[in-house]
A and B are shown apart, each in its own frame.
Chain A
């Protein structure tokens, strides 16, 4: 994969993620300008990045989203939950495309249709004015309406005809400026075919964007045309025909302004004729003026400017209600020989808005001055950051309200700079320049530190990249893995030093040499451990990465099931190894789905049970010893132990005697049994045939465990325990029949030496009693098919293992030391072998087989 693409993929994924998170915040707090801005920035950056690749559908969707967000930002529209829905859907879609693109460097074939659909829907969100807007009577756009300017240079006869259709016959004339994408043919578009769908074409102009090259090198498959057309049709009809290429077209109703333009040679008009005409118009004598125009026309050379003006006057006057604006402007042109001025007069609304804007401007000036004053006051070092923040936020809020995104961004930048340097100067400097006031740096600085701080600031200005603040480095995971493996090898290699020390002593009888090697070993050991910790930290990710997707999931499901749910997330900053986080994501989704689907009751049921109608799901992460714990709890109905028992009985997972003696706690744990998930628990949401056993398996695969507690009517809580890191495994070495084996420390409960007499045989199984618990015993030699022990011992070494909930004693020959190893899973034909989880290399080069007690026993 080319590096550019790889970078785009990671970047885009991050941006999509960020935008999604931001949108959810926005939905809760639609007026959060900061969040809106953040979402907009993400989408905007995404569009820029995507521009490097040939993925028009992707860009189309992002572009439409950006427009919508931009409109929201400048207050032209507000994002209601419908708009957020569409935006989220769009994000999901482009994320899928992104994955597809990453794998095949192409978008799926249906992307084109999807993108037009999404683009249209996003634009519809933009087009529909919100209630608030309608009430306030706010003008929808600040941009001038696009105009059909291409009409103006057309021959006058054509324009006169169009005007007649428009004003006199009252028809709808729609102008379309259509610039097909250069690559549009590859999307199956045929602009001419589209155009011929229009019912009544009045004009069609085709512009060749660049002179055609020689036919030898012409690429006919790059569309380099621009179409202008005028159709007699309703706006809706035209929009419908061009719906798939809406962003390539500008569709506007033709207006008088586009059509009326005078031509011809300048000529003098008698002033008394003009005065007479103007008098007639002042009296609104339309018929009289029309007659005058007609007789004057007959006397005028049609090539003259005057004639042109008269022709236009004639048609304008022929309209059912001649517009004063047009007639006056034409009379004016007739008099002064200058082009017709048809400037739109400001409507009362606009005038009001201007007035309001003026008042707002004055207020804004006031706010700016106040902030400057506050920032200029001497301040304690510790209160500076707070003060900068306060001033910055006020300014940001103000510019947001005023719809001035450029200024707001400038303030944001200045504020960030100010906070990172712990001095208000950048913000003050910006304020001064904005207010047009002189900037005096010494205003604020306390006498002592002034010079030094200024010097520091200058230095910082010179080295913008040396600025403080978190800097991150994105590195491919494989590189980190390589480094980690190397460090792992180092850990193993250093283990050979003690062997060397022993050899030095035993074989070369050099006790001193042995001691020196041991000293050296201690140093290398410490360094290796530090390195190991460091590399682990690199691989650690905050669980927020994993939690991020839940607000969205919960929101969607909660809406779908009509169960209002409040999601609480705690301990997002808790860190765990990347692999652990990845391994946990799926089970977690499953559990949360389960909670929403089966756990939380419907609002009616909740009310009846005397609970708040809004359910709560709590995701909590924390570290406990060398485990990360993820706890998912809900305040729903809890698990019905009786129903679980019944179901387990029906499925034949337990027998009746067992069912009768089971406690509720034990019954609840039945949900973890494979095959428990039944058809009637499968719903659209959870289930899908995967039950809690799948969760359990996934977690146990990563050497973790799951606990579940549930109280009827009060809710369920599930905790996933996972090791912090999985790179280095601690194993206890044991010896049997002269061979070494490793047993992972996480299953070792304790080591005991028991006298032979303690071991009793119950039903042919050797057992012992350990602190009032009966522990079954197994002999490792027998399990592995090694030769039976010949010598009789008085004492047995028993390794007590915790397998699931049960204790098992493993009788071995000798305990050895505990070491750190890099566990390599079995590969090839050995990979499926039960009883072993892998191998590791020992310090002296021997291969250590690591047992997997769960499959062995």
Chain B
């Protein structure tokens, strides 16, 4: 299971595929102040990126993967004014 859900933290590990998008979306909806741990994530699908981009959970741990760390997580944690998910 590439995404491990624990209390308020989701651990994304390895390659997270398009199938996970719905799950993490559900989890983010139901979880209060969710956090995600990307440390061991090597890639996540664009669909998951969309969910994360909409929900903006706190990133508990940054990815080791260079591409994710350099280009993707800044887009998710940044304060670049993208519409914040209105689920809160």
Min CB distance, B86 to chain A, in Å? 5
* 23 pairs, CB–CB < 8 Å, chain A vs chain B: A185-B45, A185-B46, A190-B46, A191-B46, A192-B45, A201-B71, A208-B83, A212-B50, A212-B54, A215-B25, A215-B51, A215-B85, A215-B87, A218-B50, A218-B54, A220-B22, A220-B25, A220-B50, A221-B21, A223-B46, A223-B50, A224-B50, A225-B46
Top 10 closest pairs, chain A to chain B, by CB:
A211-B83, A212-B54, A215-B87, A220-B21, A220-B47, A204-B71, A196-B67, A192-B46, A214-B86, A191-B46
Cα–Cα distance between A218 and B44 once the two chains are bound (Å) = 18
Name the residue on A nearest B28 (C-beta): A215
Min CB distance, A192 to chain B, in Å? 5
Tell whether A216 is near chain B: CB-to-CB under 8 Å.
Answer: yes
With a cutoff of 8 Å between Cβ atoms, the chain A residues found around residue B44 in the complex are 192
Cα–Cα distance between A180 and B45 once the two chains are bound (Å) = 13
What's the dominant secondary structure at chain A's contact region?
loop
Min CB distance, A688 to chain B, in Å? 44
Tell me the residues in window 150-209 of chain A with beta carbons closer than 8 Å to chain B beta carbons.
180, 185, 190-193, 196, 201, 204, 206, 208
Interface string of B38-64 (1 = CB under 8 A from A): 000001111111110111000000000
Contact of B53 among A204, A212, A216 (CB under 8 A): A212
Contact of A225 among B28, B48, B50, B71 (CB under 8 A): B50
Tell whether B29 is near chain A: CB-to-CB under 8 Å.
Answer: yes
If A192-B45, A220-B47 touch, does A208 touch B82 (CB 8 Å cutoff)?
yes
With a cutoff of 8 Å between Cβ atoms, the chain B residues found around residue A215 in the complex are 25, 28-29, 51, 54-55, 85-87
A interface residue count range (under 10 / 10 to 19 / 20 to 34 / 35 or more) = 20 to 34
Name the residue on B nearest A197 (C-beta): B67
Cα–Cα distance between A224 and B43 once the two chains are bound (Å) = 19
With a cutoff of 8 Å between Cβ atoms, the chain B residues found around residue A185 in the complex are 18, 45-47
Interface pair A190/B54, CB less than 8 Å apart: no
With a cutoff of 8 Å between Cβ atoms, the chain B residues found around residue A216 in the complex are 29, 87
Tell me the residues in window 568-611 of chain A with beta carbons closer than 8 Å to chain B beta carbons.
none
Residues of B whose CB lies within 8 Å of any CB of A are: 18, 21-22, 25, 28-29, 43-51, 53-55, 67, 70-72, 75, 82-83, 85-87
Name the residue on B nearest A189 (C-beta): B46
How many A-B pairs with Cβ below 8 Å?
75
Interface pair A220/B67, CB less than 8 Å apart: no
Interface pair A190/B45, CB less than 8 Å apart: yes
Min CB distance, B26 to chain A, in Å? 9
Contact of B25 among A191, A218, A224 (CB under 8 A): A218
Min CB distance, B24 to chain A, in Å? 9
With a cutoff of 8 Å between Cβ atoms, the chain B residues found around residue A223 in the complex are 46-47, 50
Min CB distance, B2 to chain A, in Å? 14
With a cutoff of 8 Å between Cβ atoms, the chain A residues found around residue B25 in the complex are 215, 218, 220
Contact of B48 among A201, A206, A220, A224 (CB under 8 A): A220
Cα–Cα distance between A224 and B49 once the two chains are bound (Å) = 11
If A192-B49, A204-B71 touch, does A214 touch B21 (CB 8 Å cutoff)?
no
Min CB distance, A309 to chain B, in Å? 28
Known: A208-B83, A214-B85, A223-B46. 9 other contacts (CB 8 A): A190-B45, A192-B45, A211-B82, A211-B83, A212-B82, A218-B50, A218-B51, A220-B22, A221-B21
Name the residue on A nearest B47 (C-beta): A220
Cα–Cα distance between A797 and B75 once the two chains are bound (Å) = 99
Interface pair A192/B43, CB less than 8 Å apart: yes
Contact of B45 among A193, A201, A208, A225 (CB under 8 A): A193
Contact of B87 among A190, A204, A214, A221 (CB under 8 A): A214
If A208-B82, A214-B86, A215-B54 touch, does A193 touch B18 (CB 8 Å cutoff)?
no
With a cutoff of 8 Å between Cβ atoms, the chain B residues found around residue A201 in the complex are 67, 70-71
Name the residue on A nearest B49 (C-beta): A192
Name the residue on A nearest B25 (C-beta): A220
With a cutoff of 8 Å between Cβ atoms, the chain A residues found around residue B18 in the complex are 185, 190, 221
With a cutoff of 8 Å between Cβ atoms, the chain B residues found around residue A211 in the complex are 82-83
Min CB distance, A261 to chain B, in Å? 20
With a cutoff of 8 Å between Cβ atoms, the chain A residues found around residue B85 in the complex are 212, 214-215, 218
With a cutoff of 8 Å between Cβ atoms, the chain B residues found around residue A212 in the complex are 50, 53-54, 82-83, 85
Cα–Cα distance between A225 and B54 once the two chains are bound (Å) = 12
With a cutoff of 8 Å between Cβ atoms, the chain A residues found around residue B28 in the complex are 215
